[in-house]
Amino acid sequence: MSTTGASAGPAAAQLGRYSVATTYSALPEGVAERAKMLIYDQLACGFVGGDLPAGKIIARYVDAHRGVGEAAVFGLAGCRAPAALAALANGTCGHADEFDSVHSTSDFIATGHPAPVIVPAAVAVAERQSATGAELVNAVALGYDAGSRVVSATGGSKPMQEHHGLYAGSFYSVGAAFAASRLLGLDQRRTLHAAALALNQGMSGYSFFAERRHMSKALFTAGQAAAAGVSGATLASLGFEGTEDVFAGRGGILPTWGQAGREGELVRDLGREFTVMGANFKFYSAGYPIHSAVEAALVLKERHAIDLADIAGIHARLPDHPAGVVDDRGMPTISLQHMLGVALVAGKLGFDEAHSAVLQSDREVLRIKSLVTLTGDPDFEVSQPRGAVITIHLADGTTVEQRVEHPKGHRFREPQPGWSDLRRKWADLLVSRIGERRTDEFYRACLTMETIDDVGDLVAILVR
């Protein structure tokens, strides 16, 4: 009898077998380093995001229901909670600041935000299990392999939103379930049950794009799916049953949401191509479609010594679907017009600038914002899915233009970001919260994560 059950199809069985066989020692060196960088970046995102309204409120919610203290919760000092609730809080914190990494496939399909789902889920379970750093790194790489392939098989963000009214990143709950299952030591059958139980807790529509304060976006983009992954795996570990083929079985992912011709993405090159390598690190604290536009505008301002008073108009051209995501949103950090105004007035767009209430209501920022027009260009979709062209019209009638095909940190832009780039990204934000000594200690611990005996010791550097 198959260990995955008679109803598990070939793809589900392959994913199940792959999951239980993964180990840190089998990861290629570059893959392990990328996973460690993602963990470092995402833990910093969550810790800093705990200072934002979404992080503080979700932490208070979890604190009221915390029960057994299995894992640390960002956003409220001293708070520990069951792993699923910690994942809910830390996933929400981890997307609250829009500084978390995003993902794309090798064929340019945008697939959302796996890191604030998979990393908080894996870290919470790793704390619960007193897992090693090596086990955590392996679990995160596995979570990416499962979750990203599921999203890719559906065609990614655009068709899921336009044809099904759903947020594609919800499928990362499946990746979180695989990561959590590996840390819990589940067999193939229970891992597949965990994936099914997670999926049906983690799905979300995309109405959160219409909110103002970036709370439900953080919750439904990340926290809910992270908690679903941990909950699914924990239930499966206790013997709670789910379908054994949530992928290709009746009512499963592929029959319901799969994009014709992409069914093979679910297991394509599994074990040979590692999807953590598709991560794109952010260096602006804003929605990702905004990054190339901000970079282009700041280049033009510096190169041509533009006085803001001389700007008569700004035209942004973006890929069609991303343009619709960031066009004049009420949520400032995912409004292209607003972030261009803040960046040009401040001369940069870091965490402090993006989240500054003073800048968001600054008269000059609002004036620049009013000068920005945005066009969605469908021809960008294949060649530069995260590119932008910025044209600035000056009062004397001249125009200047800059194109950025891929923003800094994108997988297709060289040079690729390294540890030193991420260290600079987080240095000031962490030092201001935990001091220089602990900031350095946290960085060194992440750099050598595979040597850590208990992941709780790594998290404690941030929260003690």
Residues 389 and 372 in one domain: yes
- Residue-wise pLDDT for 368-391, tens only, equals 999 999 999 887 766 667 899 999
Segment 45-55 shows an average pLDDT of: 96
Same domain, 273 and 241: yes
Question: What is the reported pLDDT for 42?
Answer: 98
Q: What is the average per-residue pLDDT within 125-144? A: 98
- The reply to whether 82 falls in a domain is yes
- The lowest-confidence range among 95-109, 295-309, 336-350 is 95-109
At 321, which CATH number?
Answer: 3.30.1330.120
Residue 13 in contact with residue 5, Cβ under 8 Å? no
Q: Do 278 and 327 lie in a common domain?
A: no
3-state secondary structure at position 103: strand
pLDDT at 108 over 80: no
Q: Is the pLDDT of residue 438 over 90?
A: yes
> Please, how many CA atoms are within 13 Å of residue 117, restricted to the half-sphere of its CB?
38
Q: Which of 294, 289, 328, 290 shows the shortest CA–CA distance to 157?
A: 289
Q: Which helix (H) or strand (E) holds 149?
A: helix 133-153
Q: Are residues 173 and 243 in the same domain?
A: yes
Residue 457 lies in a domain: yes
Regarding whether 112 and 245 lie in a shared domain, the answer is yes
How high is the pLDDT of residue 333?
95
Domain that holds residue 306: 288-404
User: Does position 141 have pLDDT exceeding 50, yes or no?
Assistant: yes
Please write the tens of the pLDDT for every residue from 210-244.
Answer: 898 899 999 999 999 999 999 999 999 999 999 99
pLDDT band for position 93 (50/70/90)? very high
The answer to whether residues 25 and 135 touch, using CB atoms and an 8 Å cutoff, is no
Do 260 and 331 have their domain in common?
no
For residues 383 and 405, give the distance between their C-alpha atoms in angstroms, rounded to a whole number. Answer: 9
Residue range 416-437: mean pLDDT, rounded: 97
Residues 277 and 294 in one domain: no
175-202: pLDDT as tens digits:
999 999 999 999 999 999 999 999 999 9
* pLDDT at 383 (0 to 100): 63
Phi, psi of 103 (to 5 degrees): -130, 150
- Asked if the model's pLDDT at residue 58 lies above 70, the reply is yes
Shortest CA distance to 176 belongs to which of 217, 140, 218, 131?
140
High-pLDDT (> 90) share of the chain, %: 90
What is the residue-averaged pLDDT of the chain?
94
Answer whether residue 307 is part of any domain. Answer: yes
User: Does residue 70 sit in the same domain as residue 195?
Assistant: yes
- Is the pLDDT at 7 greater than 90, yes or no? no
Instruction: State how far the Cα of 95 lies from the Cα of 463, in Å rounded to an integer.
Output: 18
Residue 334 has pLDDT above 70, yes or no: yes
Where does a domain end: 404, 419, 438? Answer: 404
Band (pLDDT 50/70/90 cuts) for residue 4 is very low
pTM for the complete prediction? 0.95
CA 146 to chain CA centroid, nearest Å: 15
Is residue 415 domain-resident? no
In this prediction, residues 149-159 reach a mean pLDDT of 93
Clarify whether residues 116 and 248 are in a common domain. yes
- pLDDT for position 209: 87
- With beta carbons less than 8 A apart as the criterion, state whether 209 and 334 touch: yes
Averaged pLDDT, 449-457: 98
Does residue 266 form part of some domain? Answer: yes
Note the pLDDT tens digit of each residue in 252-279.
999 999 999 999 999 999 999 999 999 9
> Given a cut of 70, is residue 36 above it in pLDDT?
yes
| Helices (H), ranges, 284-403 | 291-303, 320-326, 336-346, 351-354, 357-360, 363-370, 380-383
3-class secondary structure, 81: strand
Q: Look up residue 135 and give its DSSP letter.
A: H
Q: Domain check: are 106 and 56 in the same one?
A: yes
- Mean pLDDT (whole number) for 202-206: 92
Whole-angstrom CA distances from 327 to 34, 95, 162 are: 32, 20, 16
pLDDT value for 382: 61
End-to-end CA distance of the chain: 49
Closest CA to 132 of 446, 442, 453, 449: 453
CATH number at residue 456: 1.10.4100.10
Determine, yes or no, domain membership for 409: no
In a domain, 59, yes or no: yes
| Res. 25: pLDDT tops 60 | yes
Task: State how many domains the chain has.
Answer: 2
* Confidence bin at 1 (pLDDT 50/70/90): very low
Burial tier of 305 (Cβ tally within 10 Å: 0-12, 13-18, 19+): exposed
Q: What is the model's pLDDT at position 381?
A: 63
Q: Is residue 420 situated within a structural domain?
A: no
Same domain, 95 and 154: yes
Residue 2 has pLDDT above 80, yes or no: no
Tell me if 288 sits within 8 A of 102, measured CB to CB. yes
Sign of CA dihedral 275, 349, 116, 162: negative
Task: For residues 19 and 156, state if they share a domain.
Answer: yes
